[in-house]
Amino acid sequence: MTKVAAYIRTSLENQGQGLDSQERAIKEYLTNHGMDATFYRDELSGATTDRPALKRLQADVFKGKVNVVIVWKLDRISRSLKDGINILSGWLEKDVRVIAVAQQLDFTGPVGQMVAAVLFALAAMERENIRENTRRGMAAAKARGAVIGKRPTLFAKDIVPLLQDGMSLSAAARHLKKSRQAIYDCLQREGVDVTSLIAR
């Protein structure tokens, strides 16, 4: 019998939109494929593997209680390249099938392990590029001198992590108590590639 686990993670502790959007996408996938799953939910940063639900999932995988793991995207498993590859490799070595629904990817065996390693590396590069663009945008804004009008109270460093953790632009606006346009304008002002963040 196929035993399916669905893992969702967001680092946001309050609003929960990240969890909700991931869960909706996974439930739609389950419905379309006639599958049922046990959900494992974490509201902690993906930079650490010390997450209660992830630990429970790991234990269940290695006890043979799970043979399919479904995630929204691979970076929900971990935002660390090394940790992500280690976790995924362990699952694949146990003949666990891993599915990333948003990326339409299905990983099994050694080939899946190799492809996943490449994707984890690309995701890490994308995050670093976004951080670098944010730093450059802020430096350029400083170089231009004082901002005309009211001093900004919203900065890209407050927004980018929310979007990277799966929040929509509208959800991030609600979380920060700002308008959607204010979020968009802030990212543009600081030179952040808005399209790469919200095209998810």
Which residues are designated catalytic?
11
Q: How many CB atoms lie within 10 A of CB 160?
A: 20
Residues pairing with 16 in the sheet: none
SS3 178: coil
CB 72 within 8 A of CB 37: no
Residue located via tokens 């030179």? 191
CB 177 within 8 A of CB 22: no
Report angle CA 21, 173, 73 to the nearest 5 degrees: 30
- Cα–Cα dist 9/193, whole Å: 24
192 token code pair: 């952040």
CB 7 within 8 A of CB 54: yes
CB 165 within 8 A of CB 12: yes
